[in-house]
Amino acid sequence: MIARKATICIGLLVSLLVVNGCNNQDANSICSVSLGTIQGTISDSSTFCAYPGLVTLPDGNLLTGYSCPGGIVVFKLSRDKGATWEDHSAMTLKGSPSLTVLPNHKIALSTTLKAGSGYNQPVYMVGTIGDGDQITWGDPVIIATPGWTKGCVAPSPAVQLKDGELLVPVWCLSNTTGGLPGSSTVMLSADGGLTWPRQITVGDGEIGGSDFDESAAEVYPNGDVVMIIRRTTHTDNDLYGVWLGSRSVDNGRTWSTPIQVADNLIVGRPTVALLPSGGLVLAGRAEVEGVYTTGFATSWDEGLTFSRFHDLGFENYGFDWDQYDAMSLLPDGSIGIVSAHAGYGEASEIAYRDLVDHCSVTSIAP
């Protein structure tokens, strides 16, 4: 007989922030994702360091990298699930690092650099993880985007598709304005990131004038790819906006029309993580109960709808807000998240929290 997947949702009495929801849930079935107890400070700087990436290494340690003045990316390592962080390395790189570990245990970094033309261009790098989690980086690969004349940005980590190809989300600026409205696209590579011959548009800002900019993607076990896209709706001060969702069922070749999935008054670059239970966690800049902060919510229907957002409890420098975040799944099924909060170029804090998944998935034979 064919085994079927059943989601067993375990209701826990917790005094933490909880996001509830579950497919086909009933009164006796409550899934929840809550803010955990681990808190760590990665950087508390008088200078503007921001735009962090985060990845879980094959040995379970956490590695974060973030951009600092002078074109330096600083890497730090945690051996205790984010509670404490130690210096790891630094790289001369005038871009923000988005990190992921590939199934072959290589580490991938996608970022954005200025081309000779002065416009942004996406860049992809692969590193080999050695003893002591030291990384030897290969040469950067320029991702060409010939249809876009005013530059493109790689804002989020690469993902590996079910067919083995790599996908990198890429946001391209308007060919007309050189800014918004932008277009959300994906680049595909069939040779491990050596070449990126295919660029596919998910949301086209050149048609109709609606904005589609920074995005992040996750791949479900069934091969579905879900992308969350930022839409900025007030270009004067980059304040208002919504998050859109789109899905591909054919390894990123075609995409559904993006639809609104969350509206938090303010939005920034999204970061997403897929739980073992099938929940999709979305985090980023948000307004929660009237406060500009970093929030998180969970979807149990492949990103079509999300729970209400909850504050992650990161320190906020007054009116100044989240300067981007990154998440990574840990071996125990929890999610680590790093967030940068900065004071308009004068000071910044990069800190760590964890999220706990209170749903479990098991296989039941009838």
Handedness of CA 146, 54, 339, 346 (dihedral sign): negative
Q: Kindly report the pTM of this predicted structure.
A: 0.90
Q: Are the CB atoms for 25 and 9 separated by under 8 Å? A: yes
Residue 1, CB half-sphere, CA atoms under 13 Å: how many? 7
Distance CA 94, CA 85 (A): 23
Single out the residue of 278, 356, 329 nearest to residue 57, CA to CA.
329
Strand segments, DSSP code E, in 149-209 are 152-153, 159-160, 166-172, 183-189, 198-203
Distance CA 182, CA 153 (A): 10
Q: Is residue 1 exposed (0-12), middle (13-18) or buried (19+ Cβ within 10 Å)?
A: exposed
CB atoms within 10 A of CB 165: 18
Q: List the chain pLDDT tens, one digit each, 366 residues.
A: 333 333 334 333 233 344 554 443 332 234 789 999 999 999 987 788 999 999 999 999 999 999 999 999 999 999 999 999 999 999 999 999 999 999 999 999 999 998 888 899 999 999 999 999 999 999 999 999 999 999 999 999 999 999 999 999 999 999 999 998 999 999 999 999 999 999 999 999 999 889 999 999 999 999 999 999 999 876 555 567 899 999 999 999 999 999 999 987 788 999 999 999 999 999 999 888 888 889 999 999 999 999 999 999 886 554 467 899 999 999 999 999 999 987 665 678 899 999 999 885 433 222
User: Domains in the chain, please, with CATH?
Assistant: 4-364 (2.120.10.10)
- Cα 46–chain centre separation: 26
Q: What is the token pair recorded at 2?
A: 């064919």
Give the alpha-carbon dihedral of 351, 342, 212, 275, to 10 degrees. Answer: 10
